[in-house]
């Protein structure tokens, strides 16, 4: 799926004047940071980033050298391991006796529509009753595109089982769970792009309380709290610009980094002694340090963009990349509900679940070093 430059230009011209000025300021800050070879960190929370293609955009920004690190949540790691999005049949009234592994608390069954190739891959790792699976697909239901894994059958259980294997390998190699999973993840995911480029993708301690299921528990156990906190603090200390994006209240910033911690306690290394900036895209304003008129040394300056998640991310990324002479492979921008649905279906068809064999081979190479 290509980039619709005409639509991006339309969206830019349609912005109110004050929003366009803030966007231009954010683009200029990002371009300046990269021209100075400074580090840019993205903080991504909220499942909406999956369905709107924003996590794929961030992965592309990592591959192109624009984003240098990502902080995110266990839920997003779970979905990226499962393939980001997938087509699901939602069965409201499952026939009696039908396999119930994909059932939810309200009795609804969510069954992933997998290719024969993917079914065979999953069968190598777990017990799947193919006749029961086919019966599920034949039952009356509604087909939708949803975040992959989670409570769907069989992807949700497969990812839960895979998380135990990833945890054992990450402990053996003494690396974060997120990095180990990334070696087998699709390169279109943030964890996949990060592992291939040697860029960190981490869940901060303050974001380990969200509902990440088995993946969340494995992430928590892969590093000690002090080591995870230290890794996150190093990322934040070395960042000149942070792009933070959330679809609601939550762990927008690692706890304490704006007050007394990184950026507040004078702990940044010498190369990060200049002005630093936070670009907030449609997030809760109470989590953001105010933009000071009497800006004090060491405090971040904030730029707030309120034009909508997809529009803001697409325009920020596209215009900054163009100014840097970089062509992005993927810029999500849909014209209306139908195009948005086609975008989700394209993501579901393109991004595959993490490959256990690739993780095993990567672990072996790390051990042999």
Contacts of 7 (CB under 8 A, 6+ apart): 333, 335
Task: Give the pLDDT score at 114.
Answer: 93
Neighbour order of strands in the sheet with 109-112: 109-112, 85-91, 142-147
Mean of the per-residue pLDDT values of the chain: 85
Is the model's pLDDT at 289 over the cut of 60? Answer: no
Task: Give the pLDDT score at 100.
Answer: 55
Is the model's pLDDT at 284 over the cut of 50? Answer: no
Condensed to tens digits (0 to 9), the pLDDT of residues 24-44 reads 999 999 999 999 999 999 999
Task: Give the pLDDT score at 248.
Answer: 56
Are 73 and 203 contacting, i.e. CB atoms less than 8 angstroms apart?
yes
- The pTM score is 0.89
Q: What is the DSSP string of 235-276?
A: HHHTEEEEEEEESSSS-SS-TTTTTTSTTTSS-S-GGG-S--
Q: Write out 314-344 in H/E/C secondary structure.
A: HHHHHHHHHHCCCCCCCCCCCCHHHHHHHHH
- Joined tokens for residue 23: 């966007």
Greatest CA span in the chain, whole angstroms? 68
- DSSP class of residue 153 equals B
- Residue 51, SS3? helix
Is the model's pLDDT at 255 over the cut of 80? Answer: no
**Cα–Cα nearest to 29, from 206, 257, 275:** 275
What number of helices (H) and strands (E) belong to the chain? 15, 9
CA 52 from chain center: how many Å? Answer: 11
Can you tell me the distance from the alpha carbon of 306 to that of 319, in angstroms, rounded to the nearest whole number? Answer: 17
Q: What are phi and psi of 122, to 5 degrees?
A: -65, -35
- DSSP class of residue 18 equals H
Q: Please give the C-alpha separations between residue 139 and each of 122, 142, 148, 156, 331, in angstroms, as whole numbers.
A: 22, 10, 20, 20, 37
Q: Measured on CA atoms in the order 77, 82, 88, 92, is the torsion positive or negative?
A: negative
Contacts of 28 (CB under 8 A, 6+ apart): none
Q: How confident is the model at residue 288 (pLDDT cuts 50, 70, 90)?
A: very low
Is the model's pLDDT at 156 over the cut of 80? Answer: yes
Q: List, in sequence order, every residue forming a beta bridge with 41; answer none if it has no partner.
A: 69, 242
Task: Give the pLDDT score at 280.
Answer: 87
**Cα–Cα nearest to 78, from 197, 229, 204, 191:** 191
Q: What are phi and psi of 180, to 5 degrees?
A: -60, -45
Can you tell me the distance from the alpha carbon of 350 to that of 86, in angstroms, rounded to the nearest whole number? Answer: 10
Is the model's pLDDT at 332 over the cut of 60? Answer: yes
Task: Give the pLDDT score at 97.
Answer: 58
Are 67 and 44 contacting, i.e. CB atoms less than 8 angstroms apart?
no
Task: Give the pLDDT score at 167.
Answer: 97
Are 86 and 146 contacting, i.e. CB atoms less than 8 angstroms apart?
yes
Q: What is the DSSP string of 269-292?
A: -GGG-S--EEEEES--GGGS----
């Amino acid at each position: 799926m290509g980039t619709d430059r005409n639509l991006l230009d339309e969206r830019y011209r349609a912005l109110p004047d004050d929003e366009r000025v803030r966007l231009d300021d954010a683009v200029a800050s990002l371009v300046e940071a990269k021209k100075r070879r400074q580090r840019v960190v993205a903080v991504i929370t909220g499942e909406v980033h999956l369905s709107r293609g924003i996590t794929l955009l961030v992965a592309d920004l990592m591959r192109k050298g624009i984003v240098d690190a990502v902080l995110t949540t266990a839920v997003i790691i779970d979905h990226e391991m499962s393939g980001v999005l997938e087509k699901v049949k939602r069965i409201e009234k499952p026939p009696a006796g039908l396999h119930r592994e994909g059932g939810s608390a309200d009795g609804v069954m969510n069954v992933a529509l997998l290719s024969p190739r993917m079914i065979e891959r999953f069968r190598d790792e777990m017990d799947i009753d193919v006749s029961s699976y086919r019966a599920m697909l034949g039952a009356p239901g509604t087909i939708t595109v949803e975040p992959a894994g989670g409570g769907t059958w069989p992807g949700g259980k497969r990812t839960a089982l895979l998380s135990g294997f990833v945890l054992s390998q990450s402990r053996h190699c003494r690396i974060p769970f997120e990095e180990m999973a990334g070696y087998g993840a699709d390169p279109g995911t943030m964890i996949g792009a990060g592992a291939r480029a040697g860029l960190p993708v981490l869940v901060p301690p303050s974001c380990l309380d969200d509902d990440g299921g088995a993946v969340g528990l494995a992430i928590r156990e892969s590093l000690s709290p002090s080591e995870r906190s230290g890794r996150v603090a190093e990322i934040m200390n070395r960042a000149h610009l942070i792009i933070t994006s959330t679809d609601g209240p939550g762990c927008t910033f690692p706890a304490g980094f704006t007050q007394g911690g990184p950026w507040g306690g004078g702990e940044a290394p010498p190369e990060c002694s200049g002005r630093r900036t936070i670009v907030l895209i449609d997030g809760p304003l109470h989590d953001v340090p105010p933009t000071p008129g009497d800006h004090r040394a060491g405090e971040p300056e904030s730029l707030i963009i309120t034009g909508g998640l997809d529009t803001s991310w697409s325009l920020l990324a596209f215009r900054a990349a163009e100014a840097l002479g970089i062509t992005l492979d993927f810029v999500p921008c849909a014209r209306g509900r139908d195009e948005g649905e086609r975008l989700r279906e394209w993501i579901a068809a393109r991004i595959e679940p993490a490959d256990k064999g690739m993780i095993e081979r990567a672990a072996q190479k790390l051990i042999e070093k």
